[in-house]
Structures are given as C-alpha cells and as structure tokens.
C-alpha cells in the first residue's frame, strides 16, 4: 500500500507600504513582526502579495493626499488593500475616495490590523504546522540592520495649535522602562550600531506613569528620559563599543541639561533633535508653545561649553497665521545667533481639526513661499560655514552604503557623522575605502571638503 503525501501550503504573503515619520515605521515593523509570527511571509512587491497594508500619514493635508494616492496605487496594482495608520481615523474620507479598501484601522491599532489580515487573507499553515509552537522570531526591520528606531512612548500631552497628533494618537502613553531597555539590548545584540530614540515628546517620557521605577540589571530604574539615556549609554555592541544613541523629538525641558554630560563622556551621541517651531514670542504664543527663546540661547551656549561637538537640529514653521514680517525677521536673527547645525522648515498648512485654522490673519501663500526661500537660504549658509570648519578634522563615520569599484579600482562609500541622523540630515561621502568595508562599520574619516549639507573625506588609514 503506497503512502500518500500531503504538501504544506505556501504561506500567505503580505505587502506593506509605510508612509510618514519614523514612529509610523516602527508601527509597520511591529505589525509585520506579529504577522510573520502568525505564519505570513512578506512580499517585496504588489504582484506577490495576497493583501497589501498601507500605513498612512494624516498629519498634514498634503500627507493625507499622498496617503490617498498610495492607497489608490495599491488598489490598482493589487486590489486587496487594508489601510491603517494616522489617517485611519478618517475612514469615511478613505472609503469615499477608495470604496474598494477591505478594512480601515487607526494609528497603532496592532490587533485590529492583524485581525483584518486574518479575515481577508487567512493564514495557510494548515493543521500539520499549526500544532508546532512558534519560534521566538526576531522582529522584522524595515531599516538597515545597523540602525534601529526605539519608540519609547505614544501620544502627546501638548495642545499646539497647528497639530492634531493628540487627536490621532491620544495622550502620552509611556512604555515600561524595562521593556524599552530590553528591546534596546536585543537590537544591539542583533547588530544594531545606532539607536534612534523616538516618540512624540521624548522629554516627557514617564510623566504619565509618574516616572514608575522598574528593576533592571539588579537596580531600580525610573521611566525618565535621563535614566533611560544613562542606561542606554551602558549598552555595548559585540565589539565592546557603545552604540550611537541619538535622541529625537526632545522638548527643551530643564532636565535635558542633564544628558549633555553623557554626550561629553561619549555615552550618548552628541546630537539633539529639538522641535523649536519658531522663535518670535508672539508666534509661539499663538502656537500655544512656551516662549522662552532667550533662555534657549543661553542653554545652547552652555551645552556647547560642556560638549563642543554637540549638533542641534530643529524644524520651524513659516507663515503661521498672524506671523508678521517683524516676527519672521526675529526668527532669522534668532537663527543667526543660535547657529543650529541642521534645520528643516515647513510652510504652515491648515490641517482639519487643528485650532490654528480658526486664527485670524492668514499669511498669503506667496508670502509663505518667499519666507520659506529666505529661511532655507539663511540656514544653508549657516550649515555650509559649520561644515567648512570641519575640513581637516578626523570624525567617526557610520557606513550606510558601499559602492562598486570604479574603472581605477577605487571604492566609494556613503556614511554619516554623529551630527547626521539617517534620512533627514546630511551624508559623508568617502573615497578610497577598503574592499572589506560593510554597512554598519564605524570608521575614522579625515574630512577633505564640504558643501552646504554634506562632507567629503577619506578613511584616515587610507590617506
């Protein structure tokens, strides 16, 4: 009697389109990790996917339009689309534009997303596989292996007039400190050389839990930004070196001063991402943000005295309702004095549900464009001067990409200095690198040239 064989069905495949900020990217990673644990495979393209997830951004109207376009493309290319993310709270608008979507869920609603995938593309493991316990799978990463985003909280307690994040993601909800540190330790053990700490308000971490303390490595550690920074500074890669730890979305509360010495000691990357948004007191007041620009300038000087290599990046809104020419000139003068290393600027854009929409004296679009051009010109000039000052110095650089040899056999590479976060800041372009160099390596580079945003150099051992 011949035995019959039963083939195990191929796993269902899920495609993912992830839009918006790094916090949304972390959400996408968590969703895909959970789906892989449930037996799904990942599809790199539309054609091979049984269902496509679109993780949307809903912060600005332009971002919503981009999200709707991405949903439409996924429907056209695949036809089976589940929508999640920040714009998921506007299910009616999504369905009005794309009635074919299978399901819509909101931001960080992981269980609902997974349930929707199970409904419309049921896992196909079968009885022979379902009985086998799932292994402890490594998390799926949508970033390169050598850097990872570490999300420490969700939501925000601020009520800035131009922002709807509290509506989209709720009030501040901090993760347990031991859970955050365990994830960080796991990421570093898996090869992460750079941790990018993200949230809506990193400085407020733990406020909602009254800075609840947990045991970690035999000691009590509070859910507080300073404790978190100190503990992250104790991590070590498999080479015994501290990973780069980069703090994003840091509001300049007084306790931020306490992390600067950790940067000077080499335990934290000397980099702060602070969303100042503006400098003119009248504009900050209308934005419902603290107007302490003078004190900030004093603190910037103090931080640089403690840690001369600290890089400060920020973003600013131009054309906010009621912003006068005098307000904008005040901002330009403030930027000249602040000498920030990296600056992004945005034209004010009304967002449905934001309090700023009801403010009087809107700034004409042509004036917004003119002010945007002026602030970008001013900050590019400041950046160029600061980068020119680095020519001749030797800086540590983390490698992101290594090229192929050219006709002369020279190999180039692209990396970043400690002053450069991935995707949003500048690069360091290297020549004459070793053939053994791989992404994630950190090498000393002698800077040979610079432009407005990037550095150019050669590994110091190859001079």
Same domain, 85 and 232: no
Mean pLDDT of 82-102: 90
d(CA 425, CA 398) in angstroms, rounded, equals 14
35 and 180 part of one domain:
no
Please identify which residue in the block is written with the tokens 């109207």: 61
| Segment 132-161 mean pLDDT | 72
Environment class of residue 446 by beta-carbon count within 10 Å: exposed (0-12), middle (13-18) or buried (19+)?
A: middle
Over residues 440-445, mean pLDDT: 96
Q: How confident is the model at residue 6 (pLDDT cuts 50, 70, 90)?
A: very low
| Among the listed residues 28, 41, 30, the one whose alpha carbon sits nearest the alpha carbon of residue 125 | 41
Same domain for 59 and 114, yes or no, is yes
User: Which pLDDT belongs to residue 2?
Assistant: 45
Q: pLDDT higher for 48 or 158?
A: 48
Establish if 44 belongs to a structural domain.
yes
Per-residue b or e along 362-397, where b marks 16 or more CB atoms closer than 10 Å to that residue's CB: bbeeebbeebbebbeebbeebbeebbeebeeeebeb
The predicted pLDDT at position 141 comes to 62
CATH code assigned at 299: 3.80.30.20
The range of the structural domain enclosing residue 76 comes to: 13-130
Find the distance separating the first CA and the last CA of the chain, reported in whole Å.
74
Q: Using 50, 70 and 90 to split pLDDT, how confident is the model at 134? A: very low
* CATH number of the domain residue 425 falls in: 2.40.50.140
Kindly state whether residues 328 and 443 are assigned to the same domain: no
Domain stops at, among 353, 373, 388? 388
Per the structure block, which two tokens stand in for 44?
């790199």
- Asked if residues 398 and 194 have their Cβ atoms less than 8 Å apart, the reply is yes
In angstroms and rounded to an integer, the radius of gyration of the C-alpha atoms of the chain is 24
Residue 7 has pLDDT above 60, yes or no: no
- Is the predicted pLDDT of residue 142 greater than 70, yes or no? no
- On whether both 93 and 232 belong to a single domain, the answer is no
Say if residues 270 and 310 touch (Cβ distance below 8 Å): yes
Query: How much is the average pLDDT of 79-93?
Result: 89
Question: What average pLDDT does the segment 179-204 reach?
Answer: 93
- Total domains in the chain come to 3
| Centroid of chain to Cα 33 | 19
What is the average per-residue pLDDT within 452-463? 88
Task: Give domain status of residue 5, yes or no.
Answer: no
> Has residue 2 been placed in a domain?
no
- 382-402 average pLDDT score: 97
The CATH number of the domain where 28 resides is what?
Answer: 3.40.50.12160
Tell me what pLDDT residue 428 has.
97
pLDDT of amino acid 135: 37
- The pLDDT value recorded for residue 244 is 97
Whether 7 is covered by a domain: the verdict is no
Residue that wins the pLDDT comparison between 214 and 124: 214
Residues 62 and 110 in one domain: yes
User: Are both 124 and 151 inside the same structural domain?
Assistant: no
Specify if 3 maps to a domain. Answer: no
- Regarding whether 334 and 270 lie in a shared domain, the answer is yes
Go through 243-253 and write b for each residue having 16 or more CB atoms within 10 A of its CB, e for each that does not.
bbbbbbbbbbe
Specify whether 356 is located in the same domain as 328. Answer: yes
Report yes or no on 307 lying in a domain.
yes
Which pLDDT value is given to residue 463?
A: 58
**Residue 138 above 60 pLDDT?**
no
């Amino acid at each position: 009697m011949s035995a019959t064989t039963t083939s195990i069905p191929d796993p269902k495949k899920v495609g993912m389109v992830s839009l918006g900020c790094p916090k949304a990217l972390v959400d996408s990673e968590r969703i895909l990790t959970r789906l892989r644990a449930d037996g799904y495979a990942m599809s790199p393209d539309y054609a091979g996917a049984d269902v496509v997830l679109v993780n949307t951004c809903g912060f600005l109207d332009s971002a919503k339009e981009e999200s709707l376009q991405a949903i439409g493309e996924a429907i056209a290319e695949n036809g089976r689309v589940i929508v999640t993310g920040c714009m998921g709270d506007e299910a009616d608008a999504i369905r009005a534009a794309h009635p074919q979507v299978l399901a819509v869920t909101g931001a960080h609603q992981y269980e609902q997303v997974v349930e929707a995938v199970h409904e419309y593309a049921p896992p196909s493991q079968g009885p022979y596989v379902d009985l086998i316990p799932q292994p402890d799978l490594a998390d799926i990463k949508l970033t390169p292996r050598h850097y990872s985003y570490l999300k420490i909280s969700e939501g925000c307690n601020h009520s800035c007039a131009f922002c709807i994040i509290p509506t989209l993601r709720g009030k501040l909800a901090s993760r347990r400190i031991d859970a955050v540190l365990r994830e960080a330790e796991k990421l570093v053990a898996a090869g992460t050389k750079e941790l990018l700490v993200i949230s809506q308000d990193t400085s407020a971490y733990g406020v909602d839990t009254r800075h609840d303390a947990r045991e970690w490595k035999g000691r009590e550690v509070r859910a507080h930004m300073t404790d978190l920074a100190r503990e992250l500074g104790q991590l070590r890669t498999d080479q015994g070196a501290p990973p780069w730890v980069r703090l994003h979305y840091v509001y300049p509360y007084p306790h931020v001063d306490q992390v600067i010495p950790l940067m000077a000691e080499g335990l934290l990357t000397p980099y702060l991402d602070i969303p100042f948004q503006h400098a003119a007191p009248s504009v900050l007041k209308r934005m419902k943000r603290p107007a302490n620009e003078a004190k900030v300038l004093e603190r910037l000087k103090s931080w640089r005295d403690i840690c001369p290599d600290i890089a400060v990046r920020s973003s600013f809104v131009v054309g906010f309702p009621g912003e006068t020419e005098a307000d904008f000139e005040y901002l330009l003068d403030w930027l000249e004095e602040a000498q920030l290393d990296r600056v992004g600027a945005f034209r004010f854009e009304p967002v449905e549900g934001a309090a700023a929409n009801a403010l009087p004296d809107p700034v004409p679009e042509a004036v917004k464009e003119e002010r945007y051009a002026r602030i970008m010109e001013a900050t590019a000039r400041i950046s160029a001067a600061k980068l020119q000052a680095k020519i001749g110095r030797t800086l540590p650089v983390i490698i992101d990409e290594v090229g192929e040899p050219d006709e002369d056999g020279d190999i180039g590479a692209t990396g970043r200095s400690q002053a450069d976060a991935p995707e949003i800041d500048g690069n360091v372009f290297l020549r004459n690198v070793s053939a053994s160099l791989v992404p994630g390596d950190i090498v000393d580079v002698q800077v040979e040239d610079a432009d407005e945003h990037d550095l150019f150099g050669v590994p110091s051992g190859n001079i």
